[in-house]
Chain A
């Protein structure tokens, strides 16, 4: 369980989190949504300890983050930042291996290599294992980095827009894998998504951010309403519940309010 209490995070006069509190339960997938520039990535960085908040406390399993020994804190994390470029002369397998950085020695045993290959195999990428990462497409890079995060055997998995370059097939492969592993291994999974329909399908808990506030949170079917979409994005949309009770969001053509900045 990852817990945030009274978090205040700001760059000069840009407030990204204003007295924000929430709890992220283990064994669940938590999806953060919200407009561009509202501080979703910064929030992940704060959880990871890479951004120091002005105020507030962060706990994992009742243990508070210790900024002097961030190494300890970060051991729990698999964190996949937004940037997916891989411009380095390494093979796919070597990049995945780096997920287990602390276990690597000058001579690599078969077991580590097999583990890395296993991680690749689970998401259907093992045929790329020996390729130079510079020859991969953006989406392939993203999948490789996902495998690297899995390789860390995290307790908390944070993914910042993990499907931004993926085709329909790999979106499903990644998110289904994430969903089943989160439940099987009791991870706290947190991801930032922009696609509200994906968010609705995969989130156990949806967190909606805007202007430094947590404007709504809870199960997607309770949170995702036309009123909320209008209030957060300034867009008119219809929300339809499918037979499984999962909301489906369909925006209306020309349904956005004139310049969003003016709305904020």
Chain B
């Protein structure tokens, strides 16, 4: 009864569809490498791309001759920032992708649920309290992280309840967003103008505070979260069929939702506590990835990471070259450059 010819050709078509998606991922990865190298090359003192590659090769132990100053600039100053851009952009992309999956809504991102606003409030509060006597570059990230996780744990509580819909979760998240934005404004309102300025600068988002120590903390956390997410990739794909259907396929929806929410909160809290608030990537990267490879999480998840990483890495390059010598806050650059591009993408995909 089985028509083996049709079955065989459908199988081949599926394999070639898999290959095509794999190629898209490889392509994005190579573009990311390019923008990564440019990110290292640009800055107050321009380094040639050739020197950058030499310095990187030297760093990995290849016997290449590099000028000492170049080597120091690359490995101590530029490289941590460039790696941070990739890690942060990537995790914002993945965070957005999983939020959109979880909430069944292409407008969702970690920011939609107030996680970033809570981080901002935590950081501002720490600055206002004079860092509680700690070093401010330790205290502020801790404040941001703790506050973000506190706000997220309210969502965890909701997500653990049975029969709560994704719509209700979104509403609760938006309520939290407004709450923390108001609290943030309150802190700014009662702060001195200088302090308010400091808070504002933190909110802009910046990669300049990247050091090898916080890059490694961030990268470690993110890698761990990504591995756990990838293990669940088929379940997450099933969740996109709708919660009831996912249940019918044997997914423990309540548990998966809680687990993913915790992972996304950890990723978002880590990232925002070190670099401040960089919006937009969380929404746009997964949407671009979805247009390119669909929603099979085996491709969607890595591509969301790569697109997010590429967006932030290239925004980092732009933030340094728009006005030579000056550094634009990267959070602002991302949105100003990204929004028109995203508009174009939405328009070109309309039916």
Contact = CB atoms under 8 A, between A and B. Distances in A.
A237 interface: no
B3 A98 contact: no
Contacts of A129: 10, 13-14
Interface stretch (B129-137, B194-202, B233-241): B233-241
B20 to A, nearest CB: 12
Q: Which of B7, B249, B251, B252 lies at the interface centre, i.e. has the most chain A CB atoms within 10 A of its CB? A: B249
A121 B295 CA distance: 24
Interface size on A, as a range, is 35 or more
B248 A79 contact: yes
B238 A98 contact: yes
Contacts of B240: 88, 90
Interface residues of B, number: 32
A130 B17 contact: yes
A98 B10 contact: no
B325 interface: no
Contacts, number: 94
Contacts of B11: 110, 113-114, 117
A83 B230 contact: no
Contacts of B294: 89-91, 132
A83 to B, nearest CB: 7
B58 interface: no
B290 interface: yes
B235 A101 contact: yes
A106 B235 CA distance: 12
B347 interface: no
A89 B295 contact: yes
Interface in B213-258: 230, 233-235, 237-238, 240-242, 244-245, 247-252
A126 B251 contact: no
B65 interface: no
Nearest to A94: B296
A9 interface: no
Contacts of B238: 98, 101
A71 interface: yes
Contact of B290 (A77, A89, A95): A89
Interface of A: 48, 50, 70-71, 74-75, 77-81, 83, 85-86, 88-91, 93-95, 98-99, 101-102, 104, 106, 110, 113-114, 117-118, 121-122, 126-127, 129-130, 132, 145, 148-149, 152
A98 B251 CA distance: 11
Given A89-B295, A129-B13, 9 more contacts: A74-B248, A75-B250, A80-B248, A95-B241, A98-B249, A102-B250, A118-B7, A129-B14, A130-B17
A117 B295 contact: no
Given A81-B245, A121-B3, A132-B294, A101 B14 contact: no
Q: Which of A50, A74, A89, A95 lies at the interface centre, i.e. has the most chain B CB atoms within 10 A of its CB? A: A89
Interface string B34-53: 00000000000000000000
B13 A152 contact: no
A203 to B, nearest CB: 22
Contact of A101 (B2, B6, B251): B251
A125 to B, nearest CB: 10
B2 A118 contact: yes
B1 A106 contact: no
B15 to A, nearest CB: 8
21 contacts: A48-B247, A74-B250, A77-B248, A88-B241, A89-B290, A89-B294, A90-B240, A94-B296, A95-B241, A98-B241, A101-B234, A101-B235, A102-B250, A106-B230, A118-B2, A118-B7, A121-B6, A122-B2, A126-B7, A130-B14, A130-B17
B298 interface: yes
Contacts of A91: 14, 17, 294
Contact of A126 (B3, B17, B244): B3
B67 to A, nearest CB: 44
B162 to A, nearest CB: 9
Nearest to B291: A89
